[in-house]
Amino acid sequence: MKNAPLYLLLFFSILVNSQEKKYVTISETMKLMGSRFDITIVAEAESTAKKNIADAVAEISRIEKMISSWDETSETSEINRNAGIKPVKVSAELFGLIERSIKISEITDGAFDISYASMDKVWKFDGSMRHPPTSEQITASIAKVGYQKIQLDKEQLTVFLPDEGMKIGFGALGKGYAADKAKELMLSKKVFAGVINASGDLTTWGRQATGEKWIVGISNPLDREKVFSWLPLDESSIATSGNYEKYLVFEGEKHSHIIDPRTGYPSKGISSVSVFSKSAELCDALATAVFIMGIDTGISLINQLKETEVIVVDSQNKIFKSNGITFDNP
């Protein structure tokens, strides 16, 4: 459902005297969870920063081991393998993640749904499609989708998918959750400041070595080299969903790779959605949901959520925003 582009620009200083201490900022880039991760740590020594980055990488790898549907030994794969057969006992951590996912499904009327993994892949964005799927194929593709079907037993910590072939997947919030957990670990170690950027699902804590807030630039979806607004992030997170890298065009109509799990059809009318909140997990899920819900419904939802904001760019490059975003449209 979500393959968010990396078009958030992050700027920071490298070595600055702050509060009578010298802090060094170290950044490393690596591939984790099948995506690019940029991890930035502000610490008093380079060796300390590098050790913290290694610890963050280990935590992200631990999360991937738990939620990956590609790893046959993961808890998620075990749930999917036993669909229609029996409930599967899982860790409290995974159980909580599934619980929260279902709550997000409820508030978004199913626009976000971890059971999207049950969909047959009738839309192909690899250049091989010559015509769109039939309405019958699309209807059949979502037959096993439905977060309401997921059965949770909180006392036994079990998860059951009642239909054979039903699956869950965390592609629409997994990287955000991993970023949150890496940040949580760094805070527990009292790491001065940092940024975890999981291919555009980004979370921060502390301040730059200068004492200033971390700053992100929201890029124009039609021209990634241009920034239409700079926004500060203070102990906050952001996630972005965009459709300008993966889409289909049939008879002059653009079809996004972000598929509505309720209908099986691609979302329309939006080029990008950026959600700001304290939790990268929540930002990640809501960015996908708003993309599918549409501008009016999506922004209305965000306006009802505390400490959560959104910027939407439509297919005509017009900018829309929630009530708490204060910059002027260009």
Q: Annotated binding site for Mg(2+), which residues? A: 172, 284, 288
Angle at 271 between CA 39 and CA 298, to 5 degrees: 90
Cα separation, 97 vs 64, whole angstroms: 13
Range list of H helices, 155-279: 174-188
- Order across the sheet with 88-89: list the strands: 88-89, 158-160, 151-153
- Order across the sheet with 223-233: list the strands: 8-11, 214-220, 223-233
Cα separation, 208 vs 40, whole angstroms: 10
Query: SS3 for 41?
Result: strand
Cα separation, 22 vs 125, whole angstroms: 49
In what helix (H) or strand (E) does residue 96 lie, and over which residues does it extend? helix 92-107
Residue 61 backbone zone (phi > 0: left; psi -120 to 50: alpha; other: beta):
alpha
Cα separation, 106 vs 312, whole angstroms: 22
Beta pairing class for 309-314 and 201-205: unpaired
Binding residues are 172, 284, 288
Cα separation, 194 vs 113, whole angstroms: 31
